[in-house]
Amino acid sequence: MFTIHSARRILTMNSSRPETTHVAVREGRILGTGSLEELSGWGKHELDERFADKVLMPGLVEGHSHAMEGSFWRYVYVGYFDRMDPDGKVWTGASSIDAVIDRLRDAASKLAGDAAPLSAWSLDPIYFGNRRVVREDLDRASATRPVGVLHASGHILNVNTKALELAGLLRKGINHPGIPLGADGLPTGELKGPDPMMMASPYVGFDREVLACDELGLRYFGRLCVRKGVTTAADLANLLPQDAVAMMLRVTSESDFPARIVSLLRLQLLSGQALIDRALELRAMSSDRLRLGIVKLVADGSIQGFSARLRWPGYYNGAPNGLWYVPLETLREAFRLALARGVQIHTHTNGDEATELVLDCIEAALQAHPARDHRFTLQHCQLADAAQFRRMRALGLCVNLFPNHHYYWGDQHYAITVGPERAERMNACATALASGVPFAIHSDAPVTPLGPLFTAWCAVNRRTATGRLLGAHERIGVADALRTITLGAAYTLKLDGEVGSIECGKRADFAVLEDDPLEIGAERLKDVRIWGTVQGGRLFPATPSSQA
């Protein structure tokens, strides 16, 4: 006995049979696609017609997110843009500082006790003109309890006076580039960069363990995946201590956990040899819904934080070049050992100098260990130029680009960070396609919201939040974008033989859509309504959403 699902249209991403109307599922896998008559040949079945008016796509694959997006939803959302929480509630964007404060005040009134911290996230004062948020603003939300609000970029934390006091920072004479001072000589409450943020974060409820993704966060993340049509999501990356692995194995194996998580091991506290040993050990622990064994390295910082490494002529506003995050020798050793022992590495390179360095390192490692099909992947790789894409192709690399950045920060990139020309080539999807570099596109959730169809819309339209068309020549077509958020991302995770298309033998992972992404029009691609998902043959309807 097996099930045949009928649908209005099935977009398979299988080039031998790109479109069909029925898919047969047995034991969580796809028995076949075709007409009802064709599939009936497999024997006794039941016909499930609940998707008869819906469109099926392969379950969407998010190639670069962080499961901690789920953890953030226990804090108050104060972002500028509307955003859907794991329960389907759409939080309206806070469009002014007053709106942020109102929401915080409201949340504070619901907290028990006077001392409990109030934590919020996704603040983006860029959209409030040049006005910075200061501690006096947050004091209006609560003067008695510590208040901390994390910026959307994740690189700045705003705190109130009480939090500064608890952190030992409410004093004169502080001299730190990440802690601006007010006219009174005291910190304004803006804490920039990891160290200043860590001074206050334990007092405002941003617990390190929670942010590293705990059980509740992982469950929330799974629910968000359902709402966004995602059946496989990469978690980039995690320190993966043994207790976290045990928790993730347990939670993802529960019969109602709706997604496959690919969690990458982050380099820290480990030498190259120990890193590769641990990756192989983790790979052996993988289950169907928790895939382990890929390594993540970070070469540089972020472009909007001016910590990315840029080639000449550097930052448009003259800021000094960014930082290397690990010694070059560490990168070289890791690539060499990984190629020798068959471990895949994804490397964060934001600036084009970081990309160039990693290309050089991988080229040298490949000369020592000419591995085939290594699928080493450059993550973000936002500033790569055409020559670098040609090198990626020649070296057998994949790339995972970040089109959401155009929407959220494209205007800043144009005006401040890299200037007009390079802003237009950022996340050059069309060049990747033309160069033949296998590529994915991503959200980096929680930096931007999880949602591959939104990411596809960004790659297709390249509009900034203010409506500027940024890089018309790097737009890609809808069909290419849809392929990228399914098979493209699956390929970078070495899962394209298992997921990413609807065809015989693959996992029964579907995104179930109310609208047809090929019919709705390129400009409305982000508005495609999502019923939910099918993951490993199990049905996960997204529960009805509400409006905040």
Partner 1 sequence: MSTRIPVTVIGGYLGAGKTTLINHMLRHAGGRRLAVLVNDFGALPIDADLIEAQEGSTISISGGCVCCSFGSDLVAALRGIVALDPPPGHLLIEASGVALPAAISATASLVRGLANEGIVVLADAETVRERAGDRYLGDTIERQLRDAGLILLSKPDLANADALAATRAWLEQFAPVIDSPRGQVPLEVALGPALGRSRPVIASPPAHPAYETVEYGDLPALDLERLCTVLTDPAAGVLRAKGIVRDPSGAMQAVQTVGRRAEIYSATAGGPGRLVCIGIAGRLDRSAIERAIAPRQFRCGSA
Nearest CB to partner 1, comparing residues 37 and 209: 209
Q: Is 191 helix (H, G, I), strand (E, B) or coil?
A: strand
> Contact, 234 vs 63, CB < 8 A?
yes
181 binds partner 1 (CB under 8 A): no
544 binds partner 1 (CB under 8 A): no
Nearest CB to partner 1, comparing residues 353 and 498: 353
- Contacts for 190-193: CB closer than 8 Å, 24+ residues apart: 190/132, 190/133, 190/134, 190/156, 190/157, 190/158, 191/156, 191/157, 191/158, 191/159, 192/155, 192/156, 193/155, 193/156
DSSP notation for 408-467: HHHHHIIIIISHHHHHHHSS-HHHHHHHT--EEE--TTTTS---HHHHHHHHHH-B-TT-
What spatial distance separates the first Cα and last Cα of the chain, rounded to whole Å?
44
Q: Is 171 helix (H, G, I), strand (E, B) or coil?
A: coil
351 C-beta neighbours (distance < 10 Å), count: 29
The stretch near partner 1 (CB under 8 A) out of 195-203, 435-443, 452-460, 468-476 is 195-203
Q: Tell me the site size for partner 1, rule CB under 8 A.
A: 32
The least CB distance from residue 166 to partner 1, in Å, is 12
Handedness of CA 166, 171, 176, 179 (dihedral sign): positive
Among 357, 476, 485, 542, binds partner 1 (CB under 8 A): 357
Among 47, 174, 186, 216, binds partner 1 (CB under 8 A): 174
The stretch near partner 1 (CB under 8 A) out of 35-43, 280-288, 319-327, 490-498 is 319-327
Among 154, 196, 449, 451, binds partner 1 (CB under 8 A): 196
465 binds partner 1 (CB under 8 A): no
The stretch near partner 1 (CB under 8 A) out of 46-54, 125-133, 197-205, 468-476 is 197-205
Contacts (CB under 8 A) with partner 1, residues 93-152 = none
370 binds partner 1 (CB under 8 A): no
Nearest CB to partner 1, comparing residues 56 and 357: 357
211 binds partner 1 (CB under 8 A): no
> What amino acid is encoded at 391 in this protein?
R
Residues with Cβ within 8 Å of 515's Cβ and at least 6 positions away in sequence, in order, are 55, 527, 528, 529
Dig out the tokens for 385 from the structure: 């130029």
The stretch near partner 1 (CB under 8 A) out of 253-261, 322-330, 424-432, 483-491 is 322-330
Contacts (CB under 8 A) with partner 1, residues 259-288 = 268-271, 274
Give the phi and the psi of residue 132 in degrees, each rounded to 5.
-85, 155
Contacts (CB under 8 A) with partner 1, residues 323-352 = 323-330
Nearest CB to partner 1, comparing residues 187 and 293: 187
DSSP notation for 433-448: HHHT--EEE--TTTTS
176 binds partner 1 (CB under 8 A): yes
2 binds partner 1 (CB under 8 A): no
**Integer Cα distance of 489 and 404 in angstroms:** 15
> Contact, 289 vs 260, CB < 8 A?
yes
246 binds partner 1 (CB under 8 A): no
Among 126, 170, 181, 198, binds partner 1 (CB under 8 A): 198
172 binds partner 1 (CB under 8 A): no
Burial label, 506 (beta-carbon count in 10 A; 0-12, 13-18, 19+) = buried
318 binds partner 1 (CB under 8 A): no
The least CB distance from residue 276 to partner 1, in Å, is 13
Chain residues in the site for partner 1 (CB under 8 A): 168-169, 174-179, 194-196, 198-199, 202, 208, 268-271, 274, 309, 321, 323-330, 353, 357
